[in-house]
Amino acid sequence: MVVIATWNVENLFRPGGDGPADQATYDGKLQALARTIADIAPDVLALQEVGSPEALSDLVGTLGGTWHQELSKHPDRRGIRVGFLSRHPLTVIDDTATLPAELAPIQIADKPTPPSDELSRGALAVTVEPVAGFTLTLITCHLKSKLLTFPNGRFNPKDEGERARFGAYALYRRAAEATAVRELATKQLNGDHDERVIVLGDLNDEPHAASAQIFNGPTGSEIGRPGFDQPDNGDRQRLWNLAPRIPEDQRFSRKYRGRGELIDHIFVSHALLKPLPEARTKAGQDLPSVTDDPAARRDDRGSDHAPVIATFTV
């Protein structure tokens, strides 16, 4: 069995700045994260919202044992980035924050702010061999947040026109970033059905959102659909979202104003579908409900996301 998981660990910064107010609170957060990771017992864990290499090293120290770690060299303006923890050696094969050359730069704010040709956070691709002869390519990402930020650091718009515009800018960016990550996966899916590729991370959108659908490839063969068991020419480059494999009562990874949302996802290539992997989340009654105030949980322990976990039979 090979266990692969993804988790947004929510603002993993050392004390001060965007981190907890004091060392005791920080230590409590590390211990809460470590307990959850120990319970998951992953072979590889994709991470989002890691604030610095030092913070990740602190988490590894709290976990104990031998862990290999890799972080993207492309944090966002707040300093958060994606990465991996693994029980097995990792090899970085790509770390990009650039949109595909074919995409025009996208508008991210009102004029005269120039368009951007970059992801808000880098996407990181690695290879790992958790079992002899069973090599995986893993790509993790953290797409543009649904939380809207307005000029001068405001979280509330001046009027509904401004809200609508900045909502559109966020959608532009999330869709463009999804396209960039999908291109990374497509490069690995070179027509060989034996390519084992997993794309996982915080997409900030639910399974049926347009940005999440960008990852799937040709429609009609999703898990649970009539075409799933029918061979198709698109299978070589299609990715399958494991969301339908998650038990319905735990099919969410975050609560927003009391409503469960599945915004963290694991997509797999054709070679990883037989046998069908199991999938679950660690979403329980203790998962906090968040609002639009990003500072409200600064000193809370653990994370406002639940891990999403897939188990593969090798």
Q: Is residue 116 part of a domain?
A: no
Cα separation, 177 vs 170, in Å, equals 10
Lowest mean pLDDT among 32-36, 81-85, 154-158: 154-158
pLDDT of residue 189: 92
Looking at residue 121, its pLDDT comes to 96
Contact (Cβ atoms closer than 8 angstroms) between residue 69 and residue 37? no
Ranking 196-205, 269-278, 293-302 by mean pLDDT, the lowest is 293-302
Residues 6+ away with beta carbon under 8 Å from 148: 155, 157, 163, 166, 167, 170
Query: Residue 302: what pLDDT?
Result: 85
pLDDT above 80 for 84: yes
Report the percent of the chain where pLDDT is more than 90: 80
What residues form DSSP beta bridges with 106? Answer: 116
Total domain count for the chain? 1
Cα–Cα distance between 29 and 297 in angstroms, integer? 11
For 204-225, what is the HEC assignment? CCCCCCHHHHCCCCCCCCCCCC
Q: Per this entry, what is the length of the chain?
A: 314
> Would you list the DSSP string of 229-278?
TS--GGGGT--EE-GGGS-GGG--SEEETTEEE--EEEEE-GGG-SSPPE
Assess if residue 154 is contained within a domain: no
Distances (CA, A) of 207 to 147, 256, 263: 18, 16, 7
The whole-number pLDDT of residue 296 equals 72
In a domain, 170, yes or no: no
pLDDT in tens, 179-227: 999 999 999 998 666 899 999 999 999 999 999 999 998 888 899 888 8
- Non-local (6+) Cβ contacts of 150 within 8 A are 156, 157, 158, 162, 166
pLDDT at 207: 95
Residue 234: the pLDDT is 83
Q: Compute the distance between CA of residue 118 and CA of residue 100 in angstroms, rounded to an integer.
A: 9
Q: How confident is the model at residue 301 (pLDDT cuts 50, 70, 90)?
A: confident
Q: Which two tokens stand for residue 304?
A: 């406002």
Q: Does residue 240 carry a pLDDT above 90? A: yes
- Would you give the DSSP letter of residue 116? B
Per the structure, the complete domain to which residue 229 belongs is given by 2-97+121-145+194-312
Evaluate the CA torsion angle 254, 257, 258, 260 in order and state its sign. negative
The predicted structure's pLDDT at residue 191: 66
What's 299's DSSP letter? T
Burial group, residue 23, by CB count within 10 angstroms (0-12, 13-18, 19+): exposed
Looking at the domain assignment, is residue 153 inside a domain? no
User: Residue 100: what pLDDT?
Assistant: 96
Question: What CATH number has the domain bearing residue 238?
Answer: 3.60.10.10
Residue-wise pLDDT tens digits, 278-291: 999 988 768 888 88
Within-domain flag for 60: yes
Query: What's the pLDDT score for residue 226?
Result: 86
Considering only residues 234 and 63, tell me which one the structure prediction assigns the higher pLDDT: 63
d(CA 189, CA 254): 30
The pLDDT of residue 197 is 97
Instruction: Report the alpha-carbon distance of residue 13 to residue 76 in Å, rounded.
Output: 13
pLDDT category, 305, cuts 50, 70, 90?
very high
What value does the mean pLDDT take over residues 218-245?
89
**Residue 189 domain-assigned?**
no
Q: Look at residue 255 in the predicted model and tell me its pLDDT.
A: 92
Alpha helices in the chain (DSSP H): 23-40, 53-63, 160-188, 210-213
Indicate if the pLDDT at residue 294 is higher than 80: no
Give tens-digit pLDDT for 95-141: 999 999 999 999 999 999 999 999 999 999 999 999 999 999 999 99
Instruction: Summarize the confidence of residues 254-263 as an average pLDDT.
Output: 93
**Residue 172 placed within a domain:** no
Q: Is residue 91 part of a domain?
A: yes
Would you report the helix, strand and coil content of the chain in percent, each value rounded to 5?
A: 25, 30, 45
Q: What is the mean pLDDT of the chain?
A: 93
- Write out the two tokens for 28: 């409590």
Percentage, residues of the chain above pLDDT 70: 98
Q: Whole-angstrom Cα distance, residue 248 to residue 237?
A: 28
User: CA-CA distance, 233 to 224, in Å (whole number)?
Assistant: 19
Tell me how far apart the 2 most distant CA atoms of the chain are, in Å: 58
